[in-house]
Structure 1
């Protein structure tokens, strides 16, 4: 997915977590609407400038693909999910020391002032789409 397309999704009002999950919706057998709804509370660092929404979106995607649910194979499924989750985290943390939105972005987007500063600086529309693109690429490799 191109950064420009990601920026367009942001301009429509979608959050980083939603862009990640919606990108994989069809592949995972869910509708784009469901992908957007289930990841809606995680943008902006879980709406409190905490864990990066793209990071959480990736874990949602991994859970949808590999999550443990079948009581007869629970432990084996959980092992695979944990392996895929660890693979994603390894890739993510090769370039970063944190998955904290405020630290990654450099602004506290949980406050109206911080959100406005992130927008006005241009950082939100440059850094975040690039990070979402990167997370999608990691997931393309992992899935």
Structure 2
């Protein structure tokens, strides 16, 4: 089962969008799935039902941050590079779907659904996989 399929399966099992994306990469960052599940629980529905930034994106951002951070508590100098990666990821997602905000993607105000949750999860996983493959080169 590839990561897109795994993320979709987790979402259909009841994981929120952030959990589905992040947990599908938990092996990549050597964090157990239960810890990742708990860590990302509040990010569903655009961060706890605010319909803000798409949960699929926030799940992917958690993975990007984990992988890119230098983890140096006395010198957290990796932030600028991590922010560049996040900016690239959100730009790719926005270019594909027309928005990064859950409310807009779901068409809550406009009744024009830009992308389903399943589609957002697929896109976030695919974009993250591509970015990780590109940085590994």
Q: Which moved more, 1:3-12 or 1:41-50?
A: 3-12
Return the alpha-carbon distance in structure 2 between the equivalents of residues 35 and 81 of structure 1: 19
Partner of 2:18: 17
Q: Which runs of 5+ in 2 are unaligned?
A: 133-137
Q: Say whether the 8 Å CA contact 1:20–1:132 is kept in structure 2.
A: yes
Partner of 2:124: 135
Q: Normalized against structure 2, the TM-score is what?
A: 0.78
Return the alpha-carbon distance in structure 2 between the equivalents of residues 22 and 64 of structure 1: 13
Q: Which runs of 5+ in 1 are unaligned?
A: 109-122
Q: Which has the higher helix share?
A: 1
Q: Say whether the 8 Å CA contact 2:46–2:52 is kept in structure 1.
A: yes
Q: Say whether the 8 Å CA contact 2:7–2:23 is kept in structure 1.
A: no
Partner of 2:67: 65
Instruction: Deviation per CA, 1:39-90: give whole Å up to 9, x if none.
Output: 1111111122222101111111111111243156532x22321221122122
Return the alpha-carbon distance in structure 2 between the equivalents of residues 33 and 45 of structure 1: 21
**What's the RMSD between the two structures over aligned residues?**
2.5
Aligned residue pair count:
127
Return the alpha-carbon distance in structure 1 between the equivalents of residues 10 and 58 of structure 2: 18
Q: Say whether the 8 Å CA contact 1:68–1:74 is kept in structure 2.
A: yes
How far apart are 1:15 and its partner, in Å?
Answer: 0.5
Partner of 2:40: 39
Larger Rg: 1
How far apart are 1:28 and its partner, in Å?
Answer: 0.7
Partner of 1:112: none
